[in-house]
A = this chain, B = another copy of it.
Amino acid sequence: MSKPDSSDSEPRIPFKKINGGVTAPKGFRAGAIACGIKNPEVKRLDLTLIVSDHPTHTEAVFTTNQVKAACVRVSAQHMSETDTRAIIANSGNANACTGPRGIQDAKLMTKATAEALGIRMRQVLVCSTGIIGMPMPMERVTPYIEPLSKKLHAKGSEEAAQAIMTSDTRPKSFAIEVPCGNGSFRIGGIAKGAGMICPNMATMLCFITTDARVAKDEIKRAVRYAVDLSFNRITVDGDTSTNDTVIVMSNGQSDAPLIRSGSEESRIFRCALHKVMLELAKMIVADGERVTKFVEIRVRNARTQDDARRAAEAVGKSLLVKCSFNGSDPNWGRIIHAVGYSGTRLREELIDIYFGGLIACKGGLSTNTPIAQLEKIVKESRFTVTIDLNLGSAEYVVYTSDLSKEYVDFNASEYSAAIHAKRQKGLA
């Protein structure tokens, strides 16, 4: 029985980490402006625009929640356009559960953006994040789109990342430069999340740009591949918010060769995209609401990958497991309990559980590892829990956090507070 190694499922390609987020790749500009969407008196950056100055191949993945925000419906329609040029995104209001008026508002945002940029409406995708069930304050959005389009610049990613934040405590940005063929390409992204513990509740937005030249069918495949290995490891399958969106725009402005499916270049591109998405996904978990711990749940030697996934997700979602992380309690009993109800195939007497490299449970039984040593690991702000089923060879990893009492406090009265705030301002 080997100890869990420290290797993880991270992609391994040569790359250089660079600054610049979505404006690191050539030919993209971005910017943000303060409209006062939440509150006209307190202006903070809340409207973002990202533009490609060249034609793109673009791919998007939207929420699987059946209750979809108006912006998701409109953007999904606009994906039939073959040359997406811009993303307009606001924070403060999710434009979800807003009916026909919401659809009209989302369309209006793409229309105003298209007019300001001199492109077609269908070349614009629209995203919103914030409270559900209230109409967009369009009188405070539309007038700002044209001025915003005038202040885009090639270092605008930082503002853009700030303007999509809701309860995030910090902007999330990551970019790399990757050698490919005789040249190199860049991929950069920004993201927001944070509404979260159990990943199925976050509104997660992620915008990625690349100057790689990617064939149209390959961009689709690469995005599905990378999302499955990153955001789907924090957003448990199908359980996504009304607004979740990942958009990847590629404009082919780099000197790297054309990336076709099945080629060595495509392997490099997929690994690079995976790397960028995984970094952003980890930032989202680590910046979850009132989160104090970032925990990697690694299930190995399961019969099938599906078995491994079920076990990892059950542990990563368990309230009691998350509470024990919060209290730095190496409570392997709660972990094996969650594995037991996950539906994965198992033999209880074969299960080993590790905190970091220390074995807490061997063959389904408590070990002699001193509790003080186990506690030392669980006290860290980042650690790994490894569950070895010793039944097969399949593996799966999910990224989770603890559950803090501050989270409960923070989430106890959002709706009332929003309504009362609006009423105080004479807006409701």
| Chain A residues engaging chain B, CB cutoff 8 angstroms | 64-68, 96-99, 131-134, 197-198, 200-201, 238-242, 318-320, 323-324, 326-334, 336-337, 339-341, 343-344, 346, 348-349, 351, 361, 363-366, 371, 375, 403-409, 411-417, 419-420, 423
Closest 7 CB pairs of A and B: A327-B412, A67-B340, A132-B333, A405-B405, A331-B415, A327-B413, A323-B411
Chain copies in the assembled complex: 2
Whether A336 contacts B408 by the Cβ 8 Å rule is: no
Bound complex: CA A239 to CA B344 (Å): 12
Bound complex: CA A198 to CA B412 (Å): 17
Whether B200 contacts A67 by the Cβ 8 Å rule is: no
Q: Which residues of chain B are near A403, meaning CB under 8 Å?
A: 319, 408
Whether A336 contacts B413 by the Cβ 8 Å rule is: no
List the B residue with the shortest CB-CB distance to A239.
B341
List the B residue with the shortest CB-CB distance to A416.
B329
**20 intermolecular pairs with C-beta atoms under 8 Å apart:** A65-B340, A68-B340, A96-B333, A97-B364, A99-B364, A99-B365, A133-B336, A197-B319, A201-B318, A201-B319, A241-B337, A323-B407, A327-B413, A328-B416, A329-B415, A329-B417, A371-B423, A375-B416, A405-B406, A408-B408
Cβ of A331 to closest chain B Cβ, rounded Å = 4
Q: Which residues of chain B are near A366, meaning CB under 8 Å?
A: 97, 133-134
Between A133, A134, A332, A406, the greatest number of chain B beta carbons within 10 A of the residue's beta carbon is seen for A133
Whether A242 contacts B67 by the Cβ 8 Å rule is: no
Whether B131 contacts A333 by the Cβ 8 Å rule is: yes
Whether B198 contacts A327 by the Cβ 8 Å rule is: no
Whether B414 contacts A133 by the Cβ 8 Å rule is: no
A331-B414 CB under 8 A given contacts A238-B343, A337-B67, A364-B97: yes
Bound complex: CA A96 to CA B365 (Å): 9
Q: Which residues of chain B are near A419, meaning CB under 8 Å?
A: 371
Q: Which residues of chain B are near A415, meaning CB under 8 Å?
A: 324, 329-334
Between A132, A198, A319, A403, the greatest number of chain B beta carbons within 10 A of the residue's beta carbon is seen for A319
Whether B336 contacts A371 by the Cβ 8 Å rule is: no
Bound complex: CA A336 to CA B133 (Å): 10
Whether B329 contacts A414 by the Cβ 8 Å rule is: yes
Supply 4 further A-B pairs (C-beta < 8 A) apart from A66-B341, A331-B416.
A65-B341, A132-B336, A242-B337, A242-B340
List the B residue with the shortest CB-CB distance to A64.
B341
Cβ of A400 to closest chain B Cβ, rounded Å = 13
